A and B are shown apart, each in its own frame.
Chain A
Amino acid sequence: MRLVVIGNGMVGSRFVEDLLARDTAGKYDVTVVGAEGCEPYNRVLLSEVVAGRHDLASLTLPTPDHPRLTVLRGTTATGIDREDRIVTTDDGTRHRYDQLVLATGASARIPPLAGLDTGSDHLPLGVHALRTIDDAREVVAATLNARRAVVLGAGVLGIEAASGLAQRGCAVTVVHPMEALMERQLDGAASRVLAAVMPRAGIEPRTGTGAEAAIVADGRLTGIRLTGGEVVESELLLLATGTVANTSIASASGLPCERGVLVDDASATEDPRVFAIGDCAQPPDGAMGLVAQGWEQARALAERLTGATGRRRVGASGSNDVVRVKAKGLDVVTMGVCGGMRPDDPTHRALSLSDPAAGRHVEVVVADGRLVGATCVGAGPVAADLVAAYTRGTQVPSDPAHLLLPALAPASTDGAVPSGGDTTVCRCNGVTRDEIAHAHADGARDVHDVARATRATTGCGGCTQDVCDLLERLGARSGTGSPDRDLTVAGSPV
């Protein structure tokens, strides 16, 4: 069977990897058509590249080296003839397929802003999207000459890019027309807490205000005019205003498309020989724009086409809507039911802890004994625990309020001089405080004497200091002959 994959991005390349790993019978010959000239790379980490926290070379993703695989890089698919089952590419080649997988991804949406000629491919100098590895390189280069930067759009990418630019030394303003930052994930209260901590990370948030125009002089950006007329001077504008699914080739071939190529839950289009996965696809429940969803689609399709199921981590599917902002000093994690626009559901029980002064806001949503959503701003390790509970569907505590705070540190006496007489001092040998006291009474005066008498300190040696301290107190007491309050610990005189 001839399988053609259009798109060699994160999802297309993962699909090919999954398919070939499962196609042990050698059923498929695979041709991949990829517009980008480079090997597939991890797009999720581009904001980390901007932040200077990630080496470009370490973005490259696995590409199988396989005798039945042909990868055409820097080659653009120009048309699909579904009747003759042929994909044509810009080099004039025709590729016949038995099955076709569209993984064409999405492109950065360029907003209709005065000053940006949205008709042309070229943005003014200083104006960038952040969708491709070339974008990331250009943004990094642009930061060399920019002291001030504006990020338009405060979704996940906008916040991450703003953080990255701030780490490059830019004074950053984030302009967001909605009232709440990351409004898909954060409600008003959570957004306000995030907005309050952003200045500490070098970012000035401007919510409820859109941009009206990019001010360009001599082909170079000098500032942004906001809807109210205010001008923010800036040498760099980063557009983080969402993405547009790349559907033109599908649409031209007559496949039904709305925001993406329409597919069913199994990634099948209307044409039984054509599938669509990743950001170009629009499944019944909608696309989330998260790679986890695309990778799950890739795996499921590979299993469907080969009939081979592989072991996978349970919980990795069905829970692929966890959002974790990668931004230094900004700790934001959301999952499931979250955000201010969610519909009311009487079966949901929402509990929150809001602590704006400490930059902390945690909300959990519980239904039927399970965690079905959470919003964490500045919640530290609590967020990681909630993700673990959410992805695995573990039962929530009988009082879900316990989810809002980390467990208190164990009230153990590790490392401290133990108190009660029956408290173990030497764990390795099970020697108690009383036994050491008895040894002392029998004449043991130093650690060696105690070790001989009780074996304390002869295992890992970790209690040596405790034994010394204890001997000192015992010695002080027997020396003075008068009980000292300090010698009576926790009501247990030695």
Chain B
Amino acid sequence: MSTVSTHCPYCALQCAQALTPGPTGVEVTGRQFPTNRGGLCQKGWTSASVLRAPDRLTAPLVRGVDGELAETTWEVALDLVAERLRAMRAEHGADAVAVFGGGGLTNEKAYQLGKFARVALGTANIDYNGRFCMSSAAAAANRSLGIDRGLPFPLTDVGGAQAVLLLGSNLAETMPPAVAHLAGARAAGGLVVVDPRVSATASLTDDGQGLHLQPVPGTDLCVLLGLLHVVLAEGLDDTAYVSERTTGVDDTRRLAATWWPERVEQVSGVPAALLRETARLLAAASPARGGSGAYVLTGRGVEQSSQGTATVNAAINLALALGLPGRVGSGWGAVTGQGNGQGGREHGQKSDQLPGYRMVDDPGARAHVAGVWGVDPATLPGKGRPAVELLDSLGREGGPRALLVHGANLRVSAPNARHVAARLDALDLLVVCDVVPSETALRADVVLPVLQWAEEEGTMTSLEGRVLRRRKAIDPPPGPRSELEVWRELAARLEAPGTWDTDAALVFDELARASAGGRADYGGLSHARLDAEPDLFWPCPATDGTPHPGTPRLFLDGFPTPDGRARFVPVDDRGPAEDVRAGAPAHLVTGRVLQHYQSGAQTRRVDELVAASPGAFVEIHPRLADLHGIGAGDLVRLTSVRGSVAAPARVTDRVRPDTVFMPFHWPGEESVNAVTNDATDPVSGMPEFKVCAVTVSRAEARRDCPGAPVPTVNVTVTTAEVPA
């Protein structure tokens, strides 16, 4: 095979790559593209290693009477799954079978999974791990701007801005090549990072390149209300924009009047003077004041909160007051995390949505989609349970008794993970499709081996709403099958109506028809067109004549709301679900390291990444460490009411003295999600990963010292062997 142009398997930046299979493996190189400009991070460069993971799943596994997983044939495994599902449905009803998807699935798979759940299984109970990532940003954008596209503008636009306010995003670690687009703001001294840690991203503001606001965890909403307060109090708002393009500013203005900077300082620990300086910096960059543009960008740090939707709405309110959204060179956006975190939320994996962002309880939407699927709209189930509620209901009276998991490693990635593990263990049947034996797959009753990125065709929609082609570079090893094939086989065994294509191009064509007329309209797109035009952003509806050029920038002519105006949504602070108290005096925040992705199921199988980042750790301030007699490298135990975790200490003043930080990529004893809170946002159902209260103690004396410089790694380009 020759060199293939595709995109990285990991995050939502979807850096462009060229894969060249050779006699000894697949060579990865960065490819010029507007977003990554040829760059890749260490994860991207080493991504081919996962193709030859030594423990790659190649045969279906079924748990035998001895309690062990044993290899079997596809026929046996599929027959077994279908038979069990059919029996369960007959005995307990269709909703007794649930489906859990992932934001890493291609658009085609995300779409087909939603269809499979509703048509073949007839269950309302489908949701996905994007509920953990993007649901608050989505809910906030929908209620304010009328549509949810993470960045409603090309990422390259950010490069021209004079100011960028980045809240709860550590993109210097999570998507390093994106940092290049902050260069303009940094040169203008206009990068403002809001993070309780001096993260790698916060350090980008050093030396006059911007400001770092280091709030107490769980107070981001107050910070945003304070910034809005200053903008309105000092008359820095864009009054013409607000009166012509928005509604509802009055209630929001009144609420902001209750959050003057000194009050915000008391709650957040961010000095009032710094809040004023930030507001003025943003205003000076706004188009109304002659600036070259300003962006307000949110990430999981502020969204994974039980008031995440309100926080994002506060960010949008600030952007609206400054007159940013819908203007070239300015705006609000959410920095999507998972590889297909954008596309994955558009096409029917969500418990309340059908393809194209259609709502499952909208009769018109049901009729349209049922028409494409060739079924009676009345047979489509209604709203299912959102992820945290769904997982909690597993194996309970009236809850699902079987779960199919695709593209998720719940035992590591779900909040309050020990509880989730117990619910998974309570199921009668757990079926996991995966590439490697993930922690969740190892506890399944049936494991089905599937294809990975370079072995399949499909599309991904990046953080900026650009639809990208994922292309096959190598043949998969014998054994694994595409999930599209798995669903066709199961649908046939379940005697489901409709067509179940296995060619991704055909599935995409069906997706395009199903999404047509919806908010995320892919009607004018096809694999063939995407192959010819790599810069198409949705919505891109079908046309009779000249093809629609796609929509790089939303809102330039208006907002997709009934009156065409954006809405100020008045939001107030309620505080985190769990605040520090005498018995749990430290805040815990979680996040990522550069070398690992999500639950680490892929990256923990890459030697180079493991060498650079071998295990979990706890960042702890010298004062807090001293208080508990903790030295660098000592094992630190963090305990919340849900569980506890232990990892070696990194003593550093890059974290607040009242806060500890731990990355979440590791399983078992090092899984911080055993401790995190599964309290959810009332609007989005998103859990509060990012703040909870813990006790800190020293578990034992030091072992190795992770504060020491990272080990030297071999930097020759890794090449993956082409499987036979």
User: Chain A interface (Cβ within 8 Å of chain B)?
Assistant: 41-42, 44-45, 48, 53-55, 57-63, 292, 310-316, 322, 324, 326, 331, 380-381, 383-385, 387-389, 391-395, 397-398, 402, 407-408, 410, 412, 414-415, 420, 422-424, 427-432, 434-435, 453-455, 458-462
Query: For chain B residues 576-610, which have a beta carbon within 8 Å of chain A?
Result: 577, 579-582, 585-586, 594-595, 608
Considering the complex, give the chain B residue whose CB is closest to the CB of A57.
Answer: B253
Question: Cβ of A461 and Cβ of B580 under 8 Å apart?
Answer: no
Question: Cβ of A311 and Cβ of B577 under 8 Å apart?
Answer: yes
Cβ contact of A410, chosen from B251, B573, B652, B713, cutoff 8 A: B652
Question: Cβ of A384 and Cβ of B265 under 8 Å apart?
Answer: yes
Cβ contact of A54, chosen from B41, B234, B266, cutoff 8 A: B234
> In the complex, A435→B714 CA distance in Å?
9
Question: Cβ of A458 and Cβ of B40 under 8 Å apart?
Answer: yes
* Besides A384-B269, A460-B177, 17 new A-B residue pairs in contact (Cβ under 8 A), listed by A number: A58-B229, A62-B258, A324-B265, A324-B272, A380-B271, A384-B265, A388-B268, A391-B267, A397-B627, A397-B657, A407-B653, A410-B652, A428-B41, A458-B45, A459-B40, A460-B179, A462-B204
Known pairs A395-B585, A428-B594, A460-B172; A44 contacts B260 (CB<8 A)? yes
Question: Cβ of A322 and Cβ of B266 under 8 Å apart?
Answer: yes
Question: Cβ of A324 and Cβ of B257 under 8 Å apart?
Answer: no
Interfacial chain B residues near A53, Cβ < 8 Å: 233-234
Interfacial chain A residues near B258, Cβ < 8 Å: 42, 61-62
Known pairs A311-B575, A394-B658; A459 contacts B41 (CB<8 A)? yes
Q: B710 near A: Cβ within 8 Å?
A: yes
Question: Cβ of A461 and Cβ of B709 under 8 Å apart?
Answer: no
Q: B216 near A: Cβ within 8 Å?
A: yes
Question: Cβ of B177 and Cβ of A459 under 8 Å apart?
Answer: yes
In whole Å, how far is A298's beta carbon from the nearest beta carbon of chain B?
12
Question: Cβ of B39 and Cβ of A430 under 8 Å apart?
Answer: no
Interfacial chain B residues near A63, Cβ < 8 Å: 254
Q: B545 near A: Cβ within 8 Å?
A: no
Question: Cβ of A315 and Cβ of B579 under 8 Å apart?
Answer: yes
Interfacial chain B residues near A408, Cβ < 8 Å: 653
Q: Between A and B, how many residue pairs show CB distances below 8 Å?
A: 197
Question: Cβ of A385 and Cβ of B710 under 8 Å apart?
Answer: no
Size of interface on B: residues with Cβ below 8 Å to A: 77
Interfacial chain A residues near B558, Cβ < 8 Å: none
Question: Cβ of A428 and Cβ of B176 under 8 Å apart?
Answer: yes
In whole Å, how far is A453's beta carbon from the nearest beta carbon of chain B?
8
The 9 tightest CB contacts between A and B, nearest first, are A313-B575, A460-B179, A388-B269, A314-B579, A459-B176, A460-B176, A324-B262, A428-B176, A62-B254
Interfacial chain B residues near A389, Cβ < 8 Å: 657-658
Q: B386 near A: Cβ within 8 Å?
A: no
In whole Å, how far is B305's beta carbon from the nearest beta carbon of chain A?
13
Considering the complex, give the chain B residue whose CB is closest to the CB of A418.
Answer: B709
In whole Å, how far is A34's beta carbon from the nearest beta carbon of chain B?
16
Interfacial chain A residues near B41, Cβ < 8 Å: 428-429, 459-460
In whole Å, how far is A482's beta carbon from the nearest beta carbon of chain B?
28
Interfacial chain A residues near B621, Cβ < 8 Å: 407
Question: Cβ of A410 and Cβ of B653 under 8 Å apart?
Answer: yes
Question: Cβ of A393 and Cβ of B712 under 8 Å apart?
Answer: no
Q: B654 near A: Cβ within 8 Å?
A: yes
Q: B235 near A: Cβ within 8 Å?
A: yes
Known pairs A310-B574, A394-B580, A458-B38; A42 contacts B257 (CB<8 A)? yes
Question: Cβ of A415 and Cβ of B206 under 8 Å apart?
Answer: yes
> In the complex, A45→B235 CA distance in Å?
15
Considering the complex, give the chain B residue whose CB is closest to the CB of A39.
Answer: B254
Question: Cβ of B712 and Cβ of A434 under 8 Å apart?
Answer: yes
Question: Cβ of A394 and Cβ of B585 under 8 Å apart?
Answer: yes
Interfacial chain A residues near B253, Cβ < 8 Å: 57-58, 60
> In the complex, A428→B175 CA distance in Å?
9
Considering the complex, give the chain B residue whose CB is closest to the CB of A388.
Answer: B269
> In the complex, A121→B177 CA distance in Å?
68
Question: Cβ of A424 and Cβ of B575 under 8 Å apart?
Answer: no
Considering the complex, give the chain B residue whose CB is closest to the CB of A414.
Answer: B203
> In the complex, A476→B640 CA distance in Å?
56
In whole Å, how far is A391's beta carbon from the nearest beta carbon of chain B?
6
Known pairs A388-B216, A410-B198; A61 contacts B269 (CB<8 A)? no
Interfacial chain A residues near B204, Cβ < 8 Å: 462
> In the complex, A310→B253 CA distance in Å?
23
In whole Å, how far is A424's beta carbon from the nearest beta carbon of chain B?
6
In whole Å, how far is A163's beta carbon from the nearest beta carbon of chain B?
13
Question: Cβ of B176 and Cβ of A313 under 8 Å apart?
Answer: no
> In the complex, A408→B653 CA distance in Å?
8
Interfacial chain B residues near A384, Cβ < 8 Å: 265, 269-271
Query: For chain B residues 349-390, which have a beta carbon within 8 Å of chain A?
Result: none
Interfacial chain B residues near A423, Cβ < 8 Å: 709
> In the complex, A402→B180 CA distance in Å?
38
> In the complex, A226→B196 CA distance in Å?
51
Could you list some 11 contacts between A and B, CB below 8 A?
A42-B257, A44-B260, A55-B234, A60-B257, A388-B216, A388-B269, A391-B266, A393-B581, A430-B608, A458-B45, A460-B180
Question: Cβ of B179 and Cβ of A435 under 8 Å apart?
Answer: no
Interfacial chain A residues near B207, Cβ < 8 Å: 415
Query: For chain B residues 5-47, which have a beta carbon within 8 Å of chain A?
Result: 30, 37-42, 45
Q: B626 near A: Cβ within 8 Å?
A: yes
Question: Cβ of B257 and Cβ of A61 under 8 Å apart?
Answer: yes
Interfacial chain B residues near A313, Cβ < 8 Å: 267, 573-575, 579
Question: Cβ of A412 and Cβ of B260 under 8 Å apart?
Answer: no
Known pairs A54-B233, A313-B574, A398-B626; A459 contacts B579 (CB<8 A)? no
In whole Å, how far is A379's beta carbon from the nearest beta carbon of chain B?
10
Known pairs A45-B233, A410-B198; A402 contacts B623 (CB<8 A)? yes
> In the complex, A54→B579 CA distance in Å?
33
Interfacial chain A residues near B627, Cβ < 8 Å: 395, 397-398
Known pairs A313-B267, A324-B266, A380-B271; A410 contacts B39 (CB<8 A)? no
> In the complex, A420→B708 CA distance in Å?
12
Cβ contact of A462, chosen from B179, B216, B710, cutoff 8 A: B179
